[in-house]
Amino acid sequence: MTAFTALALQVETRAVNAAADPRAEIAAAVERIAERVRGSAAWLGPGLRLVVLPEYVLTGFPMRESLAEWRERAALDPDGPEYRALGEIAARHGLFLCVNAYERDEHFPELYFQSSVILSPQGEAVLRYRRLHSMFTPTPYDVWERYLDVYGIDGVLPVARTEIGNLAVLASEEVLMPELARALALRGAEVFCHPTSEASSPELTPKAIARRARAVENHACVVSANSGGLSGIAIPGDSTNGGSEVLDHEGRVLARAGAGESLVAAAELDLAALRRRRRRPGMGNLLSRVKTGLWAEEYARHDVERPGGLASGPRERAWFTDRQKETIERLLGGEA
């Protein structure tokens, strides 16, 4: 299949930070997703094969909770009932479903990760990506050696080869990290699923600019699902509302949603055209012109964020900020 409809499904996020029964709230969120996917599939028709959901759509995000508190309140088990229910949604409608959630891991029992999982039309997880860049959430890089021992580099940078193309994930602000998208594209990624929760604006925001850049640089499509509003915490609800969009491999916006819950950000992706573009010699074939040896050597010269910061166990929230301050000092030294 080289042409199919992709949907960035814009749905409301209801935070569980203050919920009396957060697990019940998570179950209710799965039910809302089931209803919205059912309606979207009926509206858009049988060509719908990929649905991307917003970032942390089941729970919202931690505010002042410790790692232990948020792990207990909001993190899912990889084989838990929530994923089984989401897999059933994907199977019921014969599509790939990308969901972003906080997740436990038996190999790192004191931590959690922010995971993006792609579920197949058979209801099975075909990709599990743990976010690598996060300000306050543990990442695989924070337990780097152990994580590589368990999952290997393919588990760090996964690409799912499916009947609708090669799928990968950029989570939220990671769209601002060109190295990640480029690494995934070099591994064959053709469609970047981008679950996000961000400020939307009539003007181009940094993330909107980055989505266009990542598409152009890598000749890859981007399906970016933003929240359709946020409730349950003190942050104004429309702070993360609207602007979900689908971009083709030339960086063109094929569809873009306004505010509120919406299926408007849906469009057909043409992978045959993408693949022709990648095989065409010329100045514009940027992916084929990457000097990987040069950049590998140059990057190795610089001591920026160091791996393994949580190898000895969880830290207080303030540690993440202190780490960044130390990194900035190493990077810039005494420069004004």
Q: What is the pLDDT of residues 161-171, one digit of tens each?
A: 999 999 999 99
Q: For 31-88, what is each residue's pLDDT tens digit? A: 999 999 999 999 999 999 999 999 999 999 999 899 999 999 999 999 999 999 999 9
Residue owning tokens 């190795």? 300
Per DSSP, 176 falls in state G
pLDDT at 27 over 90: yes
Mean pLDDT to the nearest integer, 274-292 = 96
Rg (CA), the chain: 19
Distance CA(233)–CA(255), nearest Å, equals 30
Q: For 150-202, what is each residue's pLDDT tens digit? A: 999 999 999 999 999 999 999 999 999 999 999 999 999 999 999 999 998 88
Q: For 202-245, what is each residue's pLDDT tens digit? A: 889 999 999 999 999 999 999 999 999 999 999 999 999 999 99
Please give the angle made by the CA atoms of 178, 181 and 187, to the nearest 5 degrees. Answer: 140
Mean pLDDT to the nearest integer, 75-103 = 98
- Dihedral sign from CA coordinates of 214, 83, 34, 67: negative
Distance CA(268)–CA(266), nearest Å, equals 7
pTM for this prediction:
0.96
Q: Taking all residues of the chain, what is their mean pLDDT, rounded to a whole number? A: 96
Tokens representing residue 272 in the block: 């045959």
pLDDT for position 334? 63
Chain centre distance of CA 6: 15
| CA quadruple 207, 54, 61, 134: dihedral, nearest 10 | -40
pLDDT for position 202? 87
Pairing between β-strand 165-169 and β-strand 160-162 as defined by DSSP bridges: antiparallel
pLDDT at 336 over 60: no
Mean pLDDT to the nearest integer, 313-320 = 92
Which comes out higher in pLDDT, residue 111 or 334? 111
pLDDT for position 113? 98
Per DSSP, 264 falls in state -
Type of residue numbered 87: G
Find the DSSP H helices in 157-241.
178-186, 206-218
Torsion-angle region of 172 (φ positive above 0: left; ψ -120 to 50: alpha; else: beta): left
Least-confidence region, from 4-18, 78-92, 304-318: 304-318
Residue owning tokens 């992916």? 287
Pairing between β-strand 245-247 and β-strand 113-119 as defined by DSSP bridges: unpaired
Question: Residue 316 — φ and ψ, nearest 5°?
Answer: -70, 160
Distance CA(187)–CA(318), nearest Å, equals 35
pLDDT for position 333? 82
Residue 45 CA: distances (Å) to CA of 4, 7, 162, 325 = 11, 12, 20, 50
Domains and their CATH numbers in the chain: 3-292 (3.60.110.10)
pLDDT for position 1? 84
Chain centre distance of CA 187: 17
pLDDT at 106 over 80: yes
Mean pLDDT to the nearest integer, 131-144 = 96
Tokens representing residue 250 in the block: 């030339």
How would DSSP label each residue in 112-152?
A: -EEEEEEE-TTS-EEEEEE-S--SSS--GGGGHHHHHHHHH
| SS3 category, 286 | helix
Distance CA(223)–CA(151), nearest Å, equals 26
Distance CA(320)–CA(260), nearest Å, equals 33
pLDDT for position 335? 62
pLDDT at 116 over 80: yes
Distance CA(233)–CA(242), nearest Å, equals 18
Chain centre distance of CA 52: 9
Asked if residue 138 lies in contact with residue 313, where contact means CB atoms within 8 angstroms, the answer is no
First to last CA, the chain: 55
